[in-house]
Amino acid sequence: MKRRTTEEIVADLQAKIVAAQEAGARRAARKNPAVVHGRAALKSIDKAAKETGDATARKALENARSSLSAWLAVEGFAVPAGAEAAKNPGRRKAAATA
């Protein structure tokens, strides 16, 4: 069994500190009402872009999404790329399972 050097141990601890600080910043940002509404708006934009057939509307929604995504990234949230990344969590309807 190879012993770790002091430098390796310190580097590992510093990485853990950075990860804990980033997690704390994300938790604090989640409590910000503007971020809460911004994330909800992003989900709504994704749903609208997924449903629209109009190219002009889709382009406008993509532009709005990119601006909102950039702001959320500054606030510390990783944002999936594009409307196709939108998820629909929850239970499936009985007709969908049959």
Overall pTM surpassing 0.95 (yes/no): no
- In angstroms, rounded to a whole number, what is the distance separating the alpha carbons of residues 46 and 8? 43
The answer to whether residue 18 sits within a structural domain is yes
The answer to whether residue 87 sits within a structural domain is no
The answer to whether residue 72 sits within a structural domain is yes
Domain of 18 in residue numbering reads as 6-78
Q: What's the pLDDT tens digit per position in 45-66?
A: 999 999 999 999 999 999 999 9
Specify the number of domains making up the chain: 1
Question: Taking the alpha carbons of 13, 18, 21, 23 in that order, is the dihedral positive or negative?
Answer: negative
Q: What's the pLDDT tens digit per position in 14-40?
A: 999 999 998 888 788 778 888 889 999
The answer to whether residue 73 sits within a structural domain is yes
